[in-house]
Amino acid sequence: AMAGVVRRLLRRGLGVTAGPPPSTRQLREAEEAAPVFQYAGKAAKRKDRVFVWGFSYSGALGVPSFVRPDASWKKPRRIQPTPYRLETEEKISSAACGYGFTLLASKTRDITKVWGTGLNKDSQLGFQRSRRDQTRGYEYVLEPSPIPLPLEKPQETRVLQVSCGRAHSLVLTDSEGVFTMGNNSYGQCGRKVVEDEIYSGSHLIHQLKEFDSRVVQVVCGQDHSLFRTKKGTVYACGWGADGQTGLGHYNITSVPTKLHGDIAGVNIIQVSSCGDCCLAVSDEGDVFGWGNSEYLQLASVTEATQVNVPRHLPFKIGKVKEAACGGTGNIVLTEEGNVFVWGYGILGKGPNLVETAVPEMIPPSLFGWSDFSPDIRVAHVRCGLSQFAALTNRGELFVWGKNLRGCLGTGRMEDQYFPWRVTVPGEVVDVACGVDHMVSLVRSFT
């Protein structure tokens, strides 16, 4: 049909009603006279987007039509198996997934800097005033809603990072310390435990400022919190029965306290935790671990199943750049770009490798490395409770692990035993893994 239209147009343009087909010169002239369309403007920039996938019924994905469909014939979507675009008002610079809820933060200077969606039974998303009853708050938030932070200078302070645990959240700002909200039954919010405190519909957001230097990273484990400062020290508070606070005892701590052990005096550049085990990486590339070791996470140094003091893990795998801790398995990324896994569960080397105490390398060919493309490297590694995610320098996202309620985003519901590409329409810049959902920050291609 296209060819016929073009031929008719050409004929009309050349004043020939019928007869021999136009000659080459006539065609060339017609071609040069054709209008030129411009699809990309001068200021066309790559856009930043947010993609979500996984279990949606708690509202954690931030799409209300999944839970409450907007037309009567539509059915609620319990699981979103592939990446789905989430419209946000601002550019999101940091995202975190908790147990059934999500926090999104932007580096803007506007009053609203953090949005929350999902489960809010312990006020982990702050107080979300219900429209039906002004005195009560929402227990489930279906759409990213602003979280009001009690900032002293709301139009100057910027939010750097957010982190979510089982029922609490931490918000890191550049000049006003750390804000904590949510469940505090074990002191994970860094304030004194109040007996019989009702967390649902609570307005309380606590501010933490007493650290030896500025806090640069906050990490939430299941019921504990870790703070890393600029000087390279680590503070912890919260539930400690597995030694995850690393303070030398198994009790709860309600005030952030400095960790010692093997990391005393060491400049720690990254901390990670998701369940009850914690990992820290020093500037010299050493890995330290503490907490739960029931799944051989720390079995290379001790037979004990709980370790309450940070211990150096003497792995001979090269200088470590980044570490991520999951519920039962751990993953590290070395300076050369190699990925090592250990622990228990689906580790990523096929169904035969179920547990190992010593790190095993995942072959780089599974991340797209080949003789044809030899400069592909893994740039970041992330961990959910029983999933792993790896980001390459080309912006591709690979996931593997237990596919709990579609959280891997592969489109299939089966578990994935080796790294598998997730098709995202853009270059993945960062990904946050939760228990049964994931959020990714993506830049469009052109």
Contacts with another protein by CB under 8 A lie at: 2-3, 6-7, 30-31, 34-40, 44, 349-352, 363, 365-366, 368, 370, 372-373, 394-396, 414-418, 420-421, 423, 427, 445-446
Q: How far is the CB of 416 from another protein (least distance, A)?
A: 7
Q: Which of 415, 435, 411 is nearest to 80 (CA)?
A: 411
Radius of gyration of the chain (CA): 26
Report in angstroms how near the CB of residue 6 gets to another protein at its nearest: 4
Query: Closest approach of Cβ 51 to another protein, in Å?
Result: 14
CB of 28 vs another protein, minimal distance in Å: 10
Using the minimum distance from each CB to another protein, give the nearer residue, 181 or 442: 442
Q: In what order do the strands lie in the sheet with 224-229?
A: 215-220, 224-229, 234-238, 253-258
**Residues 6 or more apart whose Cβ sits within 8 Å of residue 318:** 285, 334, 335, 336, 338
Q: How far apart are CA 401 and CA 382, in angstroms?
A: 12
Nearer to another protein, 186 or 420 (CB): 420
- 283-288 long-range CB contacts below 8 Å, 24 or more apart? 283/232, 284/319, 285/318, 285/319, 285/320, 285/321, 285/334, 285/335, 286/312, 286/313, 286/320, 287/312, 287/313, 287/315, 287/320, 287/323, 287/332, 288/261, 288/262, 288/263, 288/312, 288/313
Among residues 142 and 341, whose Cβ is nearest to another protein? 341
Please, is 284 exposed, middle or buried when counting C-beta atoms within 10 Å of its C-beta (0-12, 13-18, 19+)?
exposed
Smallest separation (angstroms) from another protein to the CB of 385: 20
Nearer to another protein, 38 or 134 (CB): 38
Identify which of residues 144 and 364 has a Cβ nearer to another protein in the complex: 364
| C-beta of 278 vs 346, nearer to another protein | 346
CB of 368 vs another protein, minimal distance in Å: 7
